[in-house]
Structure 1
């Protein structure tokens, strides 16, 4: 997970903002399920036991964050490597473990995609709700060279990509105060719906 954005449009560090009674970063980490999680960027709000690393030069953008993650994952030559990694921004309050499963499943066939990217109802890709085949990501970062300031679109250019639909808007991100207000309303309404569905006892 990437937590190092500048949050200029929000005006405060997004990962620690509360949605539904929990920090955004904790909600996104829930989507990891039982998988090992790694956070790149400031560790505020990150639950205990989750590994946190920093970029070599903070503020370099998401590609630089991914480079730091890959470096951390591959630092020990004796450690087994995952075939794929999910890449999630820390501002996705409604992303689920099931959606991450869908992204990773799109990479199972080695003859198909090397990158699976969530797309919204209008077909817009969310490059920070995605999954990469680790060998491909590592090679692409090597080809790119200096990751500082590079765009995710440039990183993905030429990569075999599978687009994964998101009709439930699980990859809705929170960039502005208005986005945050809408996310809080959605979480509140979801909580009410779950409360109404809960069985009652006499």
Structure 2
């Protein structure tokens, strides 16, 4: 697994064997970043803060950093994933522009200093954990009016979209379904 484009293009990322993660395949990452950088959603990456929940190895967040994100916050609660995240951040010499946080994304209470351009969520397939994670990120101020929320789920999962959000794009890539959500109003309440 490697960084696809930008400042750190070609850098291999650590993905420990036996880690119960499912890194987003390169072709899916390429498709997601192509959509994000197309201008269709405005400037959501360059010089913006990015939040990567259920970060695993950090492939999505670190790809965003390589492509010009100002800062990336990577959150996971698995000790082996956290070790891999720290090693990958160190490999990129990106400590000053990243924060690795240990925590449950569904109950994460850190407050944002500024809303993110992009929030990535790639919870375990079948868990639907993105719904409470979305609520936690919204409550924490991480999701603003122009934030694009990118969620990877199993394409067979059909969880309803919470009130206050709309589907900006939806695509299937093999087993993966990529949902891109945006806020419809500042009255969005997830899980209320």
| TM-score, normalized by the shorter chain, greater than 0.5 | no
Q: Which has the higher strand share?
A: 2
Q: TM-score, normalised by structure 2?
A: 0.29
Bigger Rg over Cα: 1
Q: Which has the higher helix share?
A: 1
